[in-house]
Structure 1
Amino acid sequence: MAVLKVIEVLANSSKSWEDATNKALEQASRSVKNIRSIYINEQSATVKDGKIDGYRVNVKITFEVQ
């Protein structure tokens, strides 16, 4: 039986929500092994001069505990 754990990670990007999600996964992968899935819990954006200037994601990352 596998034991899974979930952590919550916040990340941002000036390009897109997808890029912010990839950054969250890259950062988590540096210290967490056996990542199984990533769930985008929330997306938001910051606005400057009437245009989006930043993308933010709140993700949940599931990994297997050894």
Structure 2
Amino acid sequence: MVYKKVTLIGTSPESFEDAVDDAAQEATDSLENVYWIEVEGLSVEVASADGHEYQAEVEVSFEVEG
């Protein structure tokens, strides 16, 4: 088997957990054969006047078909 990794950044105005869930949901909705997701980093964007944006950078590993 061969696997590929891509980096996604999930966001949420509520929490880091919701930001990770956002990235995980997008990964499973748009990629096939997702095997695992690793959280690589967490950050908060504070430049917005409307409040904070929680961000989670994740690496998504999925099996490459072929």
- Structure 1-normalised TM-score? 0.81
Provide the rounded CA distance (Å) in 1 between the counterparts of 2:41 and 2:9.
9
Q: Where is the strand percentage greater, Structure 1 or Structure 2?
A: 1
TM-fit CA distance, 1:5: 0.5
Confirm or deny that 1:60 pairs with 2:45: no
Provide the rounded CA distance (Å) in 2 between the counterparts of 1:31 and 1:53.
27
- Structure 2-normalised TM-score? 0.81
RMSD across aligned positions (CA): 1.6
Confirm or deny that 1:32 pairs with 2:31: yes
Provide the rounded CA distance (Å) in 2 between the counterparts of 1:27 and 1:11.
8
Q: Which moved more, 1:26-35 or 1:6-15?
A: 26-35
Deviations 1:14-36 (A, max 9, x none): 11111111111111222201111
